[in-house]
């Protein structure tokens, strides 16, 4: 589904070049359920941003469904990202002045083309699926952390993406609720064939995925200690 070929991403601290991602080659196939495991500062978040088309590489190529997206202009990249990738974050990233339903609908508002589905119907179906339809008129700060993460997952799915990227999705949750969120993501992968990539620093979370990628000092390694 997505392939990174000799991908590097550099930043500059003054005159010093820092390679957050250093010459990574990686293939993520359609319908995979994988974990990217690394400590703070390892480069895993930058790698996630590259996979999710939030950033472009300094060098190398990124192929999405066989198409080189490395050099797309921002407006083109945004369109591809909106249709192909859904994001779930540790801090939920919900907007408190919008209701639960309005938060789920946000990605549909950014689409510049007519959608082949009714957005409200789709959003309400997802909220029912995750057991929070009775909260659709609530504001995010009035529901629990676990419910907020379910809203975030519904938002990630509303555009029928091919891939979901989850960045530390259990980080702000207790272990029981965290397990429930991982099981939801695993169920979506099995039932709908959505490619799921979980980025984490927790061994026990990564162990629940079917394949693990270890990253250290911006490079993939055979084992993460």
CA distance 65 to 180: 30
Judged against a pLDDT cut of 80, whether residue 77 lies above it is answered with: yes
Confidence of residue 222 (pLDDT cuts 50, 70, 90): confident
CATH number at residue 155: 3.40.50.300
Closest CA to 44 of 181, 220, 215: 215
What percent of the chain is predicted at pLDDT more than 70? 99
Average pLDDT, whole number, for the chain? 92
User: Taking the chain, what is the end-to-end CA distance rounded to the nearest angstrom?
Assistant: 29
Average pLDDT over residues 14-43: 92
Judged against a pLDDT cut of 70, whether residue 223 lies above it is answered with: no
Judged against a pLDDT cut of 90, whether residue 71 lies above it is answered with: no
DSSP secondary structure of 144-161: -HHHHHHHHHHHHHTT--
Beta strands in the chain (DSSP E): 2-13, 16-28, 33-37, 59-64, 67-68, 85-89, 163-167, 195-200, 211-216, 219-221
Residues 172-183 pLDDT 10s: 889 999 999 999
Confidence of residue 3 (pLDDT cuts 50, 70, 90): very high
Judged against a pLDDT cut of 60, whether residue 198 lies above it is answered with: yes
Average pLDDT over residues 20-31: 94
- 106 sits in the region (left: phi over 0; alpha: psi -120 to 50; else beta) called alpha
> Domain containing 49: what range?
2-221
pTM comes to 0.90
Average pLDDT over residues 7-12: 92
Contact 82, 139 (CB under 8 A): no
Number of domains forming the structure of the chain: 1
Higher pLDDT, 91 or 208: 208
């Amino acid at each position: 589904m997505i392939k990174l070929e000799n991908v590097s991403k550099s930043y500059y601290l003054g005159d010093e070049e820092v390679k957050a991602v250093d010459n990574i080659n990686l293939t993520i196939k359609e319908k995979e359920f994988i974990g990217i495991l690394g400590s703070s500062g390892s480069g895993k978040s930058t790698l996630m941003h590259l996979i999710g088309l939030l950033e472009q590489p300094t060098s190398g190529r990124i192929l999405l469904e066989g198409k080189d997206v490395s050099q797309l202009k921002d407006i083109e990249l945004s369109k591809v990202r909106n249709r192909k990738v859904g994001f779930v974050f540790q801090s939920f990233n919900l907007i408190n002045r919008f209701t639960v339903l309005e938060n789920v609908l946000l990605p549909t508002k950014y689409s510049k083309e007519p959608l082949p589905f009714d957005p409200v119907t789709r959003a309400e179906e997802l909220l029912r699926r995750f057991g929070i339809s009775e909260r659709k008129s609530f504001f995010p700060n009035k529901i629990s952390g676990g419910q907020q993460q379910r809203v975030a997952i519904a938002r990630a799915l509303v555009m029928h993406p091919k891939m979901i990227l989850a960045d530390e999705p259990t980080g702000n949750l207790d272990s029981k609720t965290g397990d429930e969120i991982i099981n939801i993501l695993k169920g979506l992968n099995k039932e709908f064939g959505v490619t799921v990539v979980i980025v984490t620093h927790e061994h026990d979370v990564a162990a629940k995925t079917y394949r693990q990628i270890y990253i250290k000092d911006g490079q993939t390694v055979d084992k993460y200690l």
